[in-house]
Structure 1
Amino acid sequence: MTDTSIPSADESVDAEGTEPTAAPDADETDEAAAGGKEKKAAAESDLFRQSEIAADYVEGLLDILDYDGDIDELVSGGRPVVEVVGARLQNLVGQRGATLEALQELTRLAVFRQTGTPSRLLLDVGGYRASRRKELAAVAKNAVEKVKEHGEPVRLEPMSAFERKCVHDVVNAMSGVESESEGVEPNRRIIVRLAD
């Protein structure tokens, strides 16, 4: 990671052996901060636009399938999100979220087609992702307990990218263990082991 901090007054030479540059004056700092806020606002509006495009696409799919659902579009965690809520939506989730993953990819392609920019859009139907996160947290904690008890690595069943990220997040928050993914899709899985 690059250090972007301004050297203190008592530092006479930087890491490359050259004189440090003078600190910007207050006006330049204010302008830079304002520019950063504008870029963040622009990025946020781009993400919200992606969620709007995605919501329109999903709404069209629901109409074609004759499914009723309320669609929420938002930006969360630096990515566009579309949530579909309603009854009779389980078919859009499919077994272990397989249909949902496919719909998410189609929706990302629809966003890309209109914006020309790849999207990290997250699509959720009927709160599936939130409930799956809880299940995966339990799976991850169980694997960590086994690894700590027996000292042997634990290989989990193959998972989607979303599921693997959920497990990695839980394992990485615990001390003494680490996780990594191995294999190729659709059989990519996580191994949990004692940290080196």
Structure 2
Amino acid sequence: MTQTVREDEVTSEDELFDQSEVAADYLEGLLDVLDSDGDIDELVVGDRPQVEIVGDGLEKLVGQKGQTLEALQELARLAVYRKIGEHSRLMLDIGGYRANRRKKLAELAKKTAAKVIEQDRVVKLDPMGAFERKCVHDVINATDGVESESEGAEPHRRVVVKPA
């Protein structure tokens, strides 16, 4: 599903916070059904609503390679859409998974950039989800001497890092 946002459709911080509250309410109900404990924090980070679930024993909500987390994020976005009538760019993190993954991906991107610069050759990374690709692109774009692009189709889409 793609969403087109016009520049004149700026969402206020209050509207973004409302989105995170709707998502948090939905996820709280889901945690009750699953009989899982976790504290839910509602935030606005940059121009995105965010919900963080923190606590112990949340691994089952993250799943293998974050697949369950991604599914829960989409369900939370759908809950926001049903309640507010607008598509949301809500970001969900559970047990700090995304924050930890972002750090690891930043390290990978830095090592890859150094390799590309040192060897003056293109490096293709393993396929990644959209969140992971964005983390890598952000680091590469902030590094002199290299550039990146995504190639392929989901679920085999990957980041390609090239000399600039």
Band the TM-score falls in, shorter-chain normalisation: over 0.9
1:191 aligns with one of 155, 160, 163:
160
Q: Deviations over 1:142-189 (max 9, x none)?
A: 111111111110000111111011000100110010000011111110
- Residue 84 of structure 1 aligns with an amino acid whose one-letter code is I
Determine the C-alpha separation between the residues in 1 that align with 2:136 and 2:94: 20
Aligned with residue 26 of structure 2, among 57, 60, 66: 57
1:168 counterpart = 2:137? yes
Any stretches of 5+ residues in structure 1 without a counterpart?
1-38
Aligned match of 1:109:
78
In structure 1, C-alpha distance between the alignment counterparts of 2:90 and 2:159, rounded to whole Å: 23
Give the number of equivalent residue pairs. Answer: 156
Q: 2 CA distance for matches of 1:56 and 1:43?
A: 20
Paired residue type of 2:14: S
TM-score (norm 2): 0.92
**CA offset digits 1:80-128 (Å, max 9, x no partner):** 0000001110011111111111110111011001111000000000011
Say if 2:102 is the partner of 1:133.
yes
Correspondence list, 1:4-153, <5 A: 43-153=12-122
Q: Note the residue ranges of structure 2 that are not aligned, 5 or more in a row.
A: 1-8
For residues 170 and 44 of structure 1, the distance between their equivalents in structure 2, rounded to whole angstroms, comes to 26
Aligned AA (2:152): G
Root-mean-square deviation (Å): 1.3
Instruction: Give deviations 1:41-74, integer Å, cap 9, x for gaps.
Output: x711111110000000000110011000000001
Amino acid at match of 1:119: S
**Match for 1:90: what amino acid?**
E
Answering whether residue 127 of structure 2 is matched by residue 158 of structure 1, we say yes
Structure 2 counterpart of 1:134, one-letter code: K
In our comparison, the structure showing a higher alpha carbon Rg is 1
Give the distance between the partners of 2:92 and 2:24, measured in 1 at CA. Answer: 9
Q: How does the TM-score come out when normalised to structure 1?
A: 0.77
Give the 3-state SS of the residue equivalent to 2:12 in structure 1: helix
Q: Distance in 2 between matches of 1:98 and 1:192?
A: 25
Counterpart Cα distance in 2 of 1:111 and 1:184: 28
2:38 maps to a residue whose letter is: G
Return structure 1 stretches of 4+ with deviation > 2 angstroms: none
